[in-house]
Amino acid sequence: MKHLFPLLCVTFLLSELGHAAATYEKVFKGKDSRTSKPCFLNVIKTYYKGNTSDWADFRAEVSTEYGHGTQTPGEFVIAPTAKSEKHLEGSSSEGKITIGLTTDKDFDSVKTYALGWKHGTHTHNYACTGMKAQP
């Protein structure tokens, strides 16, 4: 039995990791522009407002890994901007996120995001670049 315990622990850990990854439709990975550490854009859900497939009606619920301890900026619902077909934005009481695409109207081409997170009396600004969709 003592030889099975490490195997059971690894099996549990892998099942938990698989479950966590399964909660996102897609994950994009890039590098933090200041620290060069990995950063992520987690896509919780994508949809179109109403019964349309027009780019102007595209929406995505996203989150990032940035935070302090247990405090995070939370989730954002992003939508295309009127400025460009290569930009999406979302805001909440916690801040604002702007996402840049490589290709017009192609959410699979996420390349960057900028996050301004209101935390207490100050704002944290983060930028993630060189993003690529993860398998």
pLDDT in tens, 67-116: 777 878 889 999 999 889 999 999 988 899 999 999 999 999 999 999 99
For the chain, what's the residue count?
Answer: 135
CA 23, 28, 34, 38 torsion-angle sign: positive
Contact status, residue 108 vs residue 114, Cβ threshold 8 Å: no
Residue 129 CB partners (closer than 8 Å, separation 6+): 30, 31, 33, 111, 112
Please give the C-alpha separations between residue 46 and each of 27, 92, 105, 122, in angstroms, as whole numbers: 12, 18, 13, 31
Token readout for 95 is: 């801040």
* Residue 19, SS3 per DSSP: helix
Span 2-41, pLDDT tens digits: 444 443 343 333 333 443 454 899 999 999 999 999 999 9
Using DSSP, state whether 78 is helix, strand or coil.
strand
Whether the CB-CB separation of 113 and 134 falls below 8 Å is answered with no
Given this model, what pLDDT does residue 16 score?
Answer: 39
**Structure confidence at residue 8 (pLDDT):** 37
Strand extents, DSSP E, the chain: 26-32, 38-48, 58-64, 76-80, 87-92, 95-101, 110-119, 122-133
Segments making up each domain of the chain, as ranges:
25-133
